[in-house]
Amino acid sequence: MDLIARLRPRWRHPDPIVRAGAVREMAGDDQDRLGAIAGTDPDPHVRRIAIKKLEDAAILERVAEGEADPVLRDLALERASEARFRIASSDRPLDERTAAVERLTDPRRLVTVATSATHESVRLAALSRVSGDRHLREIVRNATDPAIGRAALDRIQDASMLCNIALADGPVDLALRALERIDDTASLQAIAGNRTPSKTVRQRAQALLAARTAEGPAVGVKEARARQLELLTLVHTLRSLPDVIRAADRAREAQREWDELARMTGSAPLGDALQASRPSSVLLDRG
């Protein structure tokens, strides 16, 4: 072996097996050298080993930009995201944590930072980067900071998500806050008649329904009676459903809607109407 070969560092050896072994033995604090190997070594296996030992997010992102292999590029980006997440979740200087959040794009990690980071400004920075009602709902459910939970809730637009939060066995103040944004009568009825939410939430749903009824009928008498006919048909068909629990839930929903319509039309209770009718021929009026 000539002198140059003996003096050459093992990570620059012509044999990729030797280089791979040398990279495995490198100290983790030699990030610049690992970054150079990850970005320039001709063997993808050696580059992979170097990428897995890298902890510096900026270096990993530079490696990803120059990596032609899509698998290794994704690995470098994932490692960079992990590094940003660790910084954002740590007790390092606040400016470093905030900067890390500003480079995070993984919604799952942003949700985690928003719900559990130790500093309020970091939590707010993460929340500002979260999009999508499902991710916002996760923050509402898991936030340790009530202010973050309220801010996430106020950004949710999907009505079914709001109903889900109101029905959930979570903080009453958030359930009430969601409830106030629900305009759908059927959803309010479902919440008012459900045993899952607290009594306070059920009572507030009932109050909202009462206030809506006091404002006047949302439909005319003719439309209300037509809807009652649909409800009777629905209740008759529920007998054939194999899922008894689901059928019972739908029957209760129909009962609540019938009762509201009955106040508008002066029609008989649902039970009496069922006894006196068939789905295709229904007499809704009393007498």
Taking 90 as the threshold, does the pLDDT of residue 43 lie above it? yes
Residue 238 included in any domain: yes
**CB distance 188 to 218 below 8 Å:** no
Read off the pLDDT of each residue in 176-186 and give the average, rounded to a whole number: 88
Is the residue at 264 inside a domain? Answer: yes
The per-residue pLDDT for 24 is 93
Question: Residue 242 falls within a domain, yes or no?
Answer: yes
Residue 3 inside a domain? The answer is: yes
Look at residue 170 and tell me if it is in a domain.
Answer: no
Neighbours of 219 (CB within 10 A): 12
Interatomic CA distance for residues 133 and 165, integer angstroms: 12
Domain end position, chosen among 57, 72, 88: 88
pLDDT score recorded for residue 228: 78
Which three-class secondary structure state does DSSP give residue 15? coil
- Asked if residue 181 belongs to a domain, the reply is no
Task: Band the pLDDT of 287: cuts 50, 70, 90.
Answer: very low
Query: Is there a domain that residue 12 lies in?
Result: yes
What is the reported pLDDT for 178?
92
For residue 151, pLDDT over 90 is answered with yes
Q: Is 110 a domain residue? A: no
Which parts of the chain fold into alpha helices (H)?
3-7, 16-25, 31-40, 44-53, 57-66, 70-88, 94-103, 107-116, 120-128, 133-142, 146-155, 159-167, 172-179, 185-192, 199-214, 221-238, 244-265, 270-275
Full-model pTM: 0.65
Instruction: Among 59, 88, 117, identify where a domain stops.
Output: 88
Find out whether 227 and 235 touch, Cβ atoms under 8 Å. Answer: no
pLDDT for residue 249: 76
CA distances from 176 to 80, 151, 164, 216 (A): 40, 14, 12, 24
pLDDT digits 0-9 by tens, 124-147: 999 999 999 999 999 999 998 999
Q: For 200-223, what is the mean pLDDT?
A: 76
Indicate the average pLDDT of the chain. Answer: 85
Tell me what pLDDT residue 22 has. 92
Q: pLDDT tens digits for 216-265?
A: 555 567 777 788 788 878 777 877 777 777 777 778 888 888 787 777 66
First to last CA, the chain: 112
**Range of lowest pLDDT (21-25, 202-206, 228-232):** 228-232
Instruction: For residues 162 and 156, give the distance between their C-alpha atoms in angstroms, rounded to a whole number.
Output: 7
Q: Provide the domain count of the chain.
A: 2
Of 71, 88, 105, the one marking the end of a domain is 88
The pLDDT value recorded for residue 283 is 37
Q: Positive or negative CA dihedral for 186, 188, 191, 192?
A: negative
Mean pLDDT computed over 141-159: 92
* φ/ψ bin of 266: left (φ > 0), alpha (ψ from -120 to 50), beta (otherwise): left
Residues sharing a CB contact under 8 Å with residue 232, sequence separation 6 or more, in sequence order: 270, 273, 274, 277, 279, 282
Res. 285: pLDDT tops 70: no
For the segment 85-114, the average pLDDT, to the nearest whole number, is: 94
**Residue 6, pLDDT above cutoff 70:** no
pLDDT greater at residue 285 or residue 273: 273
Residues 143-156, mean pLDDT to the nearest whole number: 93
Structural domain of 28:
1-88
